[in-house]
Amino acid sequence: MTRPHQSAGHARHEALLDLYVDGELSFADQPALFAHLADCAACRAQFNALMAFRVAARQEHLPVTPSMDAAFFARLDQAKRARPHPAATRAEDRQPFRGLERRVSVRTALVFSLVLFAVGLLFARPVDPEPAAVPVRVVETEDPAEALYVIYPGITIEDERNASRSERAVDTD
């Protein structure tokens, strides 16, 4: 019988065997593994051990009994009761402002609102006038076929076609 775990090649096939039993080995790699299993008794024993373990593992039933369910829900209920109630928390949150609360009449509230409105009007910013229109200077031209120059401060754009035409005009002259 071949001794297990002898070489790097053997370890590689063991790793392939692991992938195979986990359903992760590609079809392309399976023939190499099967060829090795045919020759290696140690790997066959390893394969049988893995399968035996799996069978034993899956036939063991570990049920959760109704009494375990009941015990859990009793514990959950206890945990819920132990937590502070949301309403109590809210009351606690409002506690520091409790002394500042005061009832007022509708008339007082109305007067106070009007005063606030008047103060707001006093400090209201005037609406910005419409922004001044940007002056646009329109230049009309009668013959668009002629050279057209756009002159902007610092930039001059010249059409090449017009440049060649002016050269031709110079030649004819």
Partner 1 sequence: MSATPDSPDRPRRHARDAATVIEDRSLIEAFQNGDEFAFVSLYSRYKVPVYGFCAKLLLDREAAEDVMQETFLRVYENRDRLLNAGAFRSWLFTIARNQCLNHLRTRGRTRPFPEHAPEPPAPSRETPFRHLLKAEQVDLVNRFLGELSPEYREVIVLREYQNLSYDEIAAVTRNTVSSVKSRLFKARRKLGAFLQPWIEPSTEALPSTASPSS
CB of 52 to partner 1, least distance (A): 5
User: Measuring CA to CA, which residue among 13, 45, 50 is closest to residue 29?
Assistant: 13
For residue 147, state whether it binds partner 1 (rule: CB under 8 A). no
For residue 87, state whether it binds partner 1 (rule: CB under 8 A). no
Task: Classify each residue of 99-108 as buried b or exposed e, where b means 16 or more C-beta atoms within 10 Å of its C-beta.
Answer: eeeeeeeeee
For 152, the token pair is 């902007």
* Binding residues among 30-69 for partner 1 as defined by CB under 8 A: 30, 34, 37-38, 41, 44-60, 62-64, 68-69
Taking CB under 8 A as the rule, which mask of x and - marks residues 15-34 in contact with partner 1?
xx-xxxxxxxxxxxxx---x
For residue 10, state whether it binds partner 1 (rule: CB under 8 A). no
DSSP string of 128-167? PPPPPPPP------S-TTS--EEEETTEEEE-HHHHHHHH
Tell me the CA end-to-end span of the chain in Å, nearest whole number: 108
Nearer to partner 1, 68 or 114 (CB): 68
Residues of this chain that interact with partner 1 (CB under 8 A) are 1, 4-5, 12, 14-16, 18-30, 34, 37-38, 41, 44-60, 62-64, 68-69, 71-72, 75-76, 79
